[in-house]
Chains A and B, each alone.
Chain A
């Protein structure tokens, strides 16, 4: 049923809305109630899997901005189903876990609001069938991620790290939007299901390079590929449930997801394949090597996540059917074990008060269930049989051994990445629980985590084991349709199994395990040098580069503010007029210079007299030495303008002008007492400069008007409006009809501005006033 897609989204956004009140009513139990929403959405999506496995796709569509080709359309296909199940299934467990982890937190309701909003956005992202809708959800995930990373907003470092993630992913998203627009322009559609059939058109377009690079800008920042990888380890400032969910299982996969989504339309070209494969492999290798030098449990996991993102990107880039198979298998396996490991790390942190792996060991006796969950997940991540992780790794090696020539580099990268990752998995999932107990060195006396906190990791760990033993449970229903979506064809026949006989991939697996275990035993050696190594490479890292760019931007904006924002009205007016004069000269030179025709018949004595009065009044206003004189002189100019409006048949304008002039005088009277006496603030030179600029400006405007009179305007619009006014809008006053009917939206905008200005004036004047008063007393 198409509408079930919308309902599953509404479940989660609805839960987000009621979260604050539920948490106020039920305290920690609120989390358990809220977890029902994602689980319900999970069930709803799962109930559609039969149709998906049969090769269908479910599409829900409502018109939105149809004039811009933008519809709110959702579509469930193999890839969307896989991602949607991960988002809602793991999401439900995380919500449950958070109710234990955030136990008694005063801002629990707000936390759930953010978390569930993120979940809704992420689900929307994977279900979108329209590029613009996808972009909206994409940005929503960035914003909610920002709020969640900075959840402990009292700490400056949290805010800094949250901003880093937001700026990096946000800038990438801007590039991506540009890419989307180009795709839309070239293909004539924003619907992904249509675009994916137009691969040849897009790849033949001269804009192909531009659209690929722009889209990659979005995907690489979101999925933290080199050189944008630095934000992900820093995002670990978020509470652990968030790290487990956003920065490992779901959001960071959005980039990879987007690449997979667009693979049928943009993929297959050397530019796409090489860029993805090379950046992916570099990310993988860099991440796992840096991971060896981490001592923080969450940081270790963050670097392995980074490595996995690199690996997935690399596999997409390789792009063979084997590689895509491996990618999907690995993506599923990773989501299961990594979320579990993060939750285990959070439990350990919660119970012991530290995440320093050099202190943590031998916890298995005190936290047996958590230890079991951690062990299951770590073994799956290590790629040991009979876990699902093993199947994922075998698939990678099977894809790798099919490569030849220079491409063998990718097999080497995958091998190195895998065995380092295994060492890291053991460090994070096994290390804290085995070995000699070290409880005295811990900040808190540990005991087993509450049930809400172990149910999730245990369940995910067990699923990893069950799927490894019985892979047929997901092969045809979930994995195969997802592969089909990425390749853009029919659902392939695949077979997942633990045992494929003695072959090269198995041999590589044996070496991986041996190497990973060996490195794990040597972990102390790496920790001993971890701090100096990290300090030594930092100045050359991407994060230092980010800081330089960030500080440079602030320096630049400060410099231009000092230069342009002097705080003196005089300077602002001067700049505005000077710039306008520049443009006027440019325009006049471009449109025939000084030539114009004078129509002397237009001069009639009354108008000439009126203008003379206004000129005299202006001179008086400029040279006067008392406010009252200035006020009266300006009033004269204003009334003169009103009279000119009358002469030229614009009564509405004239009435408004008269009323405004009157009100201005009255309002001015209120403040006149508060103003300091008029005195000369400028030197003679400045005055002469201003006089020259002002006369030039006036002269140019006059010239412009004289020239404008000679131009034959197209009267079609005004005539059409006048003709339509009575029959269509039942009004004879065209000015008013335009204001309240034809262009009512403009007027609505204007009155909003007027209302905002009213509030703004009060705030502005009150601040200055209070400050002055405070200083005086």
Chain B
């Protein structure tokens, strides 16, 4: 652990930030938020971990390759456009489940636009982390070169 306070802050804040990003993602349809913002927040959570300890720790937390996230996100976004076509509507027409009520969440609207937003969320995380990991590798290999 490179930095004690930052490292511990990262460990504590990480789950909170991820949950926050999911909330932002979910509530985006009615309040400020959505896939883009949620995705950026989730990515920040990983970056915070990496700043506190190492990039390897952040990668281990992510478990999958960011490129996989890109692919899965795109696939989800495309698949979310298909249900509308079953009803004869154009690609990406929104289809909604009947509204139901849950404690805490209140009225729940679930529909294909939300699935689409999940796709956006994943692509944004994938993009940000792919770039970050890549640049950090570059920086590390550079410092190694310097110590040789």
Binding site for B on A (CB under 8 A): 651-652, 655-656, 659-660, 662-663, 666-667, 670-671, 673-674, 729-733, 735-737, 739-741, 744-745, 747-748, 751-752, 754-755, 757-759, 761-762, 765-766, 769, 773, 776
Beta-carbon nearest neighbor of B110 in chain A: A730
Q: How far is the CB of B4 from chain A (nearest CB, A)?
A: 19
Q: How far is the CB of A62 from chain B (nearest CB, A)?
A: 14
How would residues 133 to 148 of chain B score, 1 for a CB under 8 Å from any chain A CB and 0 otherwise? 0111011011101000
Q: How far is the CB of B71 from chain A (nearest CB, A)?
A: 8
User: How many residue-residue contacts, CB under 8 A, span A and B?
Assistant: 148
Q: Are A666 and B132 in contact (CB under 8 A)?
A: yes
Residues in B with CB closer than 8 Å to A762 are 130-131, 134
Within 8 A of A (CB), among B115-140: 116-117, 119-120, 123-124, 126-128, 130-132, 134-136, 138-139
Q: Are B28 and A733 in contact (CB under 8 A)?
A: yes
Q: A666-B47, A733-B31 are in contact. Are A769 and B128 (CB under 8 A)?
A: no
Residues in B with CB closer than 8 Å to A673 are 139, 142-143
Among B71, B81, B139: residue with most chain A CB under 10 A: B139
Bound state CA distance, A662 and B47, in angstroms?
11
Asked whether B6 is an interface residue with its Cβ less than 8 Å from the other chain, the reply is no
**Contact with B73, one of A733, A751, A765 (Cβ below 8 angstroms):** A751
Q: Are B139 and A659 in contact (CB under 8 A)?
A: no
Q: A663-B128, A670-B139 are in contact. Are A748 and B31 (CB under 8 A)?
A: no
Q: Are A755 and B74 in contact (CB under 8 A)?
A: yes
Per DSSP, chain B at the interface is helix
Q: What are 5 inter-chain pairs, A to B, with CB distance below 8 A? A: A670-B139, A736-B33, A751-B74, A755-B74, A761-B134
Residues in B with CB closer than 8 Å to A671 are 135, 138-139
Asked whether B83 is an interface residue with its Cβ less than 8 Å from the other chain, the reply is no
Residues in A with CB closer than 8 Å to B74 are 751-752, 755
Beta-carbon nearest neighbor of B134 in chain A: A762
Bound state CA distance, A733 and B73, in angstroms?
22
How would residues 28 to 41 of chain B score, 1 for a CB under 8 Å from any chain A CB and 0 otherwise? 11111111110011
Residues in A with CB closer than 8 Å to B28 are 733, 736, 740
Q: How far is the CB of B23 from chain A (nearest CB, A)?
A: 13
Residues in B with CB closer than 8 Å to A761 are 130-131, 134
Beta-carbon nearest neighbor of A744 in chain B: B92
How would residues 92 to 131 of chain B score, 1 for a CB under 8 Å from any chain A CB and 0 otherwise? 1010100100000000010101101101100110111011
**Contact with B127, one of A662, A666, A748, A758 (Cβ below 8 angstroms):** A758
Beta-carbon nearest neighbor of B28 in chain A: A736
Beta-carbon nearest neighbor of A651 in chain B: B32
Bound state CA distance, A745 and B142, in angstroms?
41
Asked whether B85 is an interface residue with its Cβ less than 8 Å from the other chain, the reply is no
Residues in B with CB closer than 8 Å to A744 are 81, 92, 94, 113, 116
Q: Are B43 and A663 in contact (CB under 8 A)?
A: yes
**Contact with A674, one of B36, B113, B128, B142 (Cβ below 8 angstroms):** B142
Within 8 A of A (CB), among B57-101: 66-67, 70-71, 73-74, 77-78, 81, 91-92, 94, 96, 99
Q: How far is the CB of A339 from chain B (nearest CB, A)?
A: 44
Bound state CA distance, A745 and B80, in angstroms?
11
Bound state CA distance, A752 and B120, in angstroms?
10
Beta-carbon nearest neighbor of B115 in chain A: A740
Bound state CA distance, A765 and B81, in angstroms?
34
Count, chain B residues at interface, CB 8 A: 55
Q: Are A656 and B37 in contact (CB under 8 A)?
A: yes
Residues in A with CB closer than 8 Å to B124 are 751, 754
Residues in B with CB closer than 8 Å to A776 are 145
Beta-carbon nearest neighbor of B35 in chain A: A740
Bound state CA distance, A744 and B141, in angstroms?
40
Q: How far is the CB of B38 from chain A (nearest CB, A)?
A: 10
Q: Are B131 and A655 in contact (CB under 8 A)?
A: no
Q: Are A670 and B113 in contact (CB under 8 A)?
A: no
Counting from the closest, the 5 A-B pairs by CB-CB distance are: A731-B29, A651-B32, A659-B40, A732-B30, A670-B135
Q: A666-B47, A670-B136, A758-B66 are in contact. Are A731 and B113 (CB under 8 A)?
A: yes
Q: Are A751 and B138 in contact (CB under 8 A)?
A: no
Q: A663-B44, A758-B66, A761-B131 are in contact. Are A729 and B113 (CB under 8 A)?
A: yes
Q: How far is the CB of B27 from chain A (nearest CB, A)?
A: 8
**Contact with B96, one of A670, A730, A766 (Cβ below 8 angstroms):** A730
Q: Are A652 and B33 in contact (CB under 8 A)?
A: yes
Q: Are B81 and A733 in contact (CB under 8 A)?
A: no
Bound state CA distance, A735 and B31, in angstroms?
9
Asked whether B18 is an interface residue with its Cβ less than 8 Å from the other chain, the reply is no
Q: How far is the CB of B87 from chain A (nearest CB, A)?
A: 15
Q: How far is the CB of A73 from chain B (nearest CB, A)?
A: 20
Q: Are A733 and B32 in contact (CB under 8 A)?
A: yes
Q: Are B138 and A736 in contact (CB under 8 A)?
A: no
Bound state CA distance, A769 and B139, in angstroms?
11
Bound state CA distance, A748 and B73, in angstroms?
10
Bound state CA distance, A662 and B37, in angstroms?
13
Q: Are A659 and B130 in contact (CB under 8 A)?
A: no
Bound state CA distance, A733 and B113, in angstroms?
13
Q: A652-B34, A671-B138, A762-B130 are in contact. Are A751 and B123 (CB under 8 A)?
A: yes
Among B32, B35, B51, B67: residue with most chain A CB under 10 A: B32
